[in-house]
């Protein structure tokens, strides 16, 4: 693990204990050594950067441990040289960590297998730099902040540790103990954080989504789903202004807050388990929908935001990379509409849908106005400040939009997938307006048809392998022609006809795109490809899940099956906890996927990917308002026989079973079941 100043610290080898807004990134023995990204975080602030224990002056040697559930972990270490003589360790230290809404409690348990009592002084050493997440991510170290009484105060937060005694820049808790022979002693300590400037908080209730019971011939699916739902439970948050509406934070440690597209996609992929997360996400974002034009923040009337952060503390003289409320995203607004439509189809109560129709109309209005500043019919973006995000789709790194020869495109940029989301949003918005007796539906259907025709004329390019949609149009309306995973987001949106969909499916299924662990963000044949680039060759599980969903919906079974198996292979590579992204090296060359060192883990939309696998493999297409459920599984069954109990469709608890031969059985749905 590197902690060199100026380099983003690596996190792939750290243990993560998470219950948002609190998280602990530690070594696998549970210690926080003051290196890199290690620390105890509350929201956007690292409240402890050192947590270490000595017993009789000796540092424990970790032997194992890690997360035991949402917000809990257990780590075991041995104290060599204490206890009975001989090579076998007879004194061990067990650290049981439990996170709370505003801090954590730990129990340090000294367990003896020795024949004689152990008399020892136990010292817990704590320290903090009160760094923001942005500062930690930048790799620029901050000096330690000296304790003030029983804790620390600064940068707008108060960190309290009862019993703490100051020792220079560190604080210490000290116990003198006697551990009886073959007995144990337990020592408790805690830290609590008060952050008046925080914009997010812990969810007030446990998760309400269904926890499905999965029986599958492929034994990798059930444990991956279990770990993923545990991770998602740890990422549940609310804002301080909408404390009853729960959303999924994007990921730990860098993005533990509300992100427009991430939170929307997570809720969308999780719809088979219930609509509550979707409702909370939609309402939280609608409450912050843009009302004015502001180049500094990217706000525009009807636009849905990109992210929110804790405001900087003025006396510290720090400036965040982006404004605390930032709207620099071209896709969150149409995705908000798509989620509202899909949640309605999955059974979001009509009164909740109706309460969001005004924000729906404002979002649709943005698609037809500020989203298309030059009036060419395409959504596009350009950062006008020079300090915001240069790219404002999900691939938001500066170099993600490239030509096939590797050149980086100049803006304004019109992304392919943003047009697909807009097309789907216009059709879904029209369906909602019509269903709830509001005017304007035909206007949006006509506009969607026009967008579809314009896209066909402007975006398609070709090479020796055939035709495919470009990533984007650049500022001169030239197609940016590197083959990339963006095209996978067009499937299932209605933007493509059957022949075009088949051409995209063939490209996604090629060895240049399908790594065996999922879909590469850019084909290996492109000049900008690199297996460890953030958006130009790496694999993102959510990106794979979106393409997989579209492939299944459009009937492309072979590439869909391959991507489904790739998600499971990736999960196995990372101990069933899917990271934000990983390297694009092929499964033919590496047995396990290789880590992207700075990747968030867990990441919400990655954790939602296994649910997307269920949806695609089973072929679930509900229409609860019409009392209808279509089940069109992938055949032949890519994961063997699969039975899922506890799917939530409307108010029904539904079981769907598909045999290895593709025979379907559905129970529990109160409406019409149509088998495809």
- Contact, 614 vs 548, CB < 8 A? no
- The burial class, CB within 10 Å (0-12 / 13-18 / 19+), for 234 is buried
Neighbour count for residue 676 (Cβ, 10 Å): 11
Domain boundary residue, one of 196, 231, 246: 196
Residue 622 within any structural domain of the chain = yes
% pLDDT > 90, the chain: 95
pLDDT, residue 315, reads 46
Is the link from the previous residue into 21 a cis peptide, with omega within 30 of 0?
yes
| 166 & 239 share domain | no
Residue 564 within any structural domain of the chain = yes
The span from the CA of 634 to the CA of 133, in Å, is 43
Domain boundary residue, one of 176, 196, 216: 196
Residue 664 within any structural domain of the chain = no
Residue range 459-484, pLDDT digits in tens: 999 999 999 999 999 999 999 999 99
| 168 & 53 share domain | yes
| 108 & 244 share domain | no
| 465 & 399 share domain | yes
| 561 & 538 share domain | yes
Q: Which two tokens stand for residue 122?
A: 């136990």
Residue range 232-249, pLDDT digits in tens: 999 999 999 999 999 999
Residue 1 within any structural domain of the chain = no
CA angle 544, 1, 33 (to 5 degrees): 120
| 416 & 367 share domain | yes
The span from the CA of 302 to the CA of 290, in Å, is 5
| 231 & 162 share domain | no
Total of domains in the chain: 2
What range does the domain containing 242 cover?
A: 201-658
| 131 & 248 share domain | no
Residue with tokens 């104290």: 79
pLDDT, residue 311, reads 85
| 78 & 111 share domain | yes
DSSP H stretches of helix in 461-526: 498-508
Residue 673 within any structural domain of the chain = no
* pLDDT for 21 beyond 80: yes
* pLDDT for 4 beyond 80: no
Residue range 389-419, pLDDT digits in tens: 999 999 999 999 999 999 999 999 999 999 9
What's the rounded mean pLDDT across residues 619-640? 97
Residue range 316-341, pLDDT digits in tens: 545 556 889 999 999 999 999 999 99
CATH code assigned at 224: 1.50.10.10
* pLDDT for 314 beyond 80: no
pLDDT, residue 639, reads 98
| 180 & 236 share domain | no
Residue 676 within any structural domain of the chain = no
Neighbour count for residue 453 (Cβ, 10 Å): 11
CATH code assigned at 188: 2.70.98.40
- Kindly give the pairing relationship between strand 32-33 and strand 50-55: antiparallel
* pLDDT for 275 beyond 90: yes
Residue range 506-545, pLDDT digits in tens: 999 999 999 999 999 999 999 999 999 999 999 999 999 9
| 266 & 312 share domain | yes
The span from the CA of 14 to the CA of 11, in Å, is 5
Give 1's pLDDT tier (boundaries 50, 70, 90).
Answer: very low
| 583 & 645 share domain | yes
Residue 211 within any structural domain of the chain = yes
Sheet containing 664-667: order of strands: 213-216, 642-649, 652-658, 664-667
Residue 10 within any structural domain of the chain = no
pLDDT, residue 6, reads 76
Domain boundary residue, one of 140, 168, 196: 196
The span from the CA of 40 to the CA of 283, in Å, is 30
């Amino acid at each position: 693990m590197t902690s060199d100043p100026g380099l983003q610290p690596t996190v792939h080898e750290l243990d993560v204990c998470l219950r948002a807004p609190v998280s602990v990134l530690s070594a696998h023995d549970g210690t926080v050594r003051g290196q890199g990204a290690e620390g105890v975080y509350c929201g956007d602030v690292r409240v402890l950067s050192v947590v270490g224990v000595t017993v009789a002056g000796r540092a424990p040697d970790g032997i194992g441990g890690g997360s035991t559930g949402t917000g809990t972990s257990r780590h075991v270490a041995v104290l060599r040289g204490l206890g009975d003589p001989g090579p076998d360790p007879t004194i061990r230290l067990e650290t049981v960590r439990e996170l709370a809404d505003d801090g954590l409690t730990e129990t340090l348990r000294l367990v003896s297998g020795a024949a004689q009592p152990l008399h020892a002084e136990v010292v817990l050493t704590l320290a903090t730099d009160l760094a923001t997440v942005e500062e930690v991510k930048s790799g620029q170290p901050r000096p330690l902040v000296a304790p003030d009484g029983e804790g620390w105060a600064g940068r707008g937060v108060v960190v309290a540790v009862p019993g703490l005694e100051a020792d220079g820049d560190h604080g210490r808790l000290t116990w003198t103990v006697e551990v009886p022979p073959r007995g144990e002693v337990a020592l408790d300590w805690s830290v609590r954080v008060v952050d008046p400037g925080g914009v997010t908080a812990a969810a007030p209730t446990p998760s309400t989504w269904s926890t499905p019971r999965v029986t599958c011939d492929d034994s990798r699916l059930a444990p991956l789903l279990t770990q993923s739902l545990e991770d998602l439970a740890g990422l549940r948050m609310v804002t301080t202004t909408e404390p009853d509406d729960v959303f999924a934070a994007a990921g730990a440690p860098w993005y533990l807050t509300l992100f427009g597209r991430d939170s929307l996609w997570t809720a969308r992929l999780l719809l088979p388990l219930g609509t509550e997360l979707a409702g909370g996400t939609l309402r939280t974002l609608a409450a912050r929908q843009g009302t004015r034009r502001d180049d500094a923040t990217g706000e525009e009337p009807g636009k849905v935001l990109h992210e929110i952060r804790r405001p900087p503390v003025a006396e510290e003289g720090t400036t965040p990379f982006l404004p605390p409320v930032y709207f620099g995203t071209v896709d969150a607004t149409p995705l908000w509409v798509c989620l509202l439509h899909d949640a309605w189809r999955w059974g979001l109560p009509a009164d909740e849908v109706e309460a969001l129709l005004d924000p729906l109309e404002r979002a649709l209005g943005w698609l037809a106005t500020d989203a298309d500043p030059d009036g060419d019919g395409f959504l596009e973006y350009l950062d006008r400040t020079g300090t915001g995000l240069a790219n404002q789709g999900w691939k938001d790194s500066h170099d993600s939009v490239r030509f096939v020869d590797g050149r980086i495109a100049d803006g304004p940029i019109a992304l392919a997938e943003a047009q697909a989301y807009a097309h789907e949003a216009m059709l879904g918005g029209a369906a909602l307006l019509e269903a709830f007796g509001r005017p304007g539906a035909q206007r949006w259907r006509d506009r969607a048809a026009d967008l579809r025709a314009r896209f066909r004329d402007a975006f398609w390019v070709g090479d020796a392998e055939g035709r495919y949609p470009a990533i984007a149009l650049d500022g001169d309306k030239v197609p940016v022609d590197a083959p990339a995973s963006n095209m996978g987001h067009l499937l299932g949106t209605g933007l493509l006809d059957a022949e075009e969909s088949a051409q995209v499916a063939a490209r996604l299924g090629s060895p240049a795109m399908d790594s065996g662990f999922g879909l590469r963000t850019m084909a290996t044949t492109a000049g900008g490809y690199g297996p460890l680039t953030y958006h130009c060759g790496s694999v993102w599980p959510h990106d794979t899940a979106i393409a997989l969903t579209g492939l299944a919906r459009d009937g492309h079974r072979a590439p869909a099956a391959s991507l489904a198996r790739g998600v499971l292979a990736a999960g196995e590579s990372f101990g069933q906890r899917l990271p934000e992204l990983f390297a694009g090296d092929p499964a033919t060359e590496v047995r396990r996927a290789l880590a992207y060192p700075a990747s968030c883990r867990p990441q919400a939309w990655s954790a939602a990917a296994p649910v997307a696998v269920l949806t695609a493999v089973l072929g679930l297409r509900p229409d609860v308002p019409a009392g209808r459920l279509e089940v069109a599984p992938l055949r032949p069954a890519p994961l063997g026989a699969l039975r899922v109990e506890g799917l939530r469709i409307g108010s029904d608890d539904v079981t769907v079973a598909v045999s290895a031969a593709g025979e379907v059985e559905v129970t529990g749905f109160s409406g019409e079941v149509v088998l495809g």
